[in-house]
Structure 1
């Protein structure tokens, strides 16, 4: 079965919606983030992130970001799984066959 053609704009829209609302995805925060004193501020910065450039978003999918917070570099990223979380999604642009997992971590935890 051939792989579906990637629809980066649709993936970006689904990623933006999930990241901005923390809905339609699973959100994982690492131990390093959990140990910080101002987790709500970090989550707010992830929601409001809009610093996408051709350097940090070369495929236009809005699937990764980084920012500085309290002298730490914070990363967030999306991974795409099938609905059973057993393997990669067959089509990340199709929300009916994809479970998005948003991981928020310290850069040194990557």
Structure 2
């Protein structure tokens, strides 16, 4: 019997979202990406959907929650964050403690230009893993304040 790690469960769910499964989350784009021509937006979304070059250097936790893609000489990031599903349904943004459980977690994948990404401060390196995860969620919430919802890629 195959034992699946928590990280692999999370990774598989993240893959599902990138493939367009809107039962477990949604894909959002920043206004900068939304301002691109429609064809370029579609190319970016297809690159996110097709991305499979995860390795230790760009996916240290094995969750497949962050990727870098290039298009037209520009660099873009896609970042998946995890929110408590019930709180999300109540319009409250609370990080999920169980990202491996789709019944408890709502995923938000954000596609943005690389210069739009808010990186946690260097002081976060001194924080515990849980505090660091909360810090990253906080930074992502700040990014969410400038997002537009995008329909699923078909």
Which residue of structure 1 aligns with residue 10 of structure 2?
11
Any idea what the Cα deviations from partners look like across 1:64-100, whole Å, max 9, x if unmatched?
0001101110100000000122311120000000010
SS of 1:21's partner is coil
CA shift for structure 1 position 107: 0.2
Of stretches 25-34 and 10-19 in structure 1, the one that deviates more from structure 2 is 25-34
CA shift for structure 1 position 27: 1.4
CA shift for structure 1 position 22: 4.5
CA shift for structure 1 position 28: 1.1
CA separation in 2, counterparts of 1:19 and 1:28? 11
Match of 2:96 among 86, 89, 97: 89
List aligned pairs for 1:67-78, cutoff 5 A.
67-78=69-80
Q: How many residues were matched structurally?
A: 105
Structure 1 runs (4+) deviating above 4 angstroms are none
CA shift for structure 1 position 31: 1.1
Q: Based on CA coordinates, which of the two structures has the bigger radius of gyration?
A: 2
CA separation in 2, counterparts of 1:73 and 1:66? 7
CA shift for structure 1 position 7: 0.4
CA shift for structure 1 position 50: 0.6
State yes or no: 1:105 paired with 2:112: yes
Of stretches 67-76 and 80-89 in structure 1, the one that deviates more from structure 2 is 80-89
CA separation in 2, counterparts of 1:32 and 1:22? 24
**Structural RMSD (CA):** 1.2
Which residue of structure 2 aligns with residue 3 of structure 1?
none
CA separation in 2, counterparts of 1:33 and 1:19? 17
Of stretches 68-77 and 14-23 in structure 1, the one that deviates more from structure 2 is 14-23
Q: Which runs of 5+ in 1 are unaligned?
A: 1-5
Which residue of structure 2 aligns with residue 35 of structure 1?
35
SS of 2:44's partner is helix
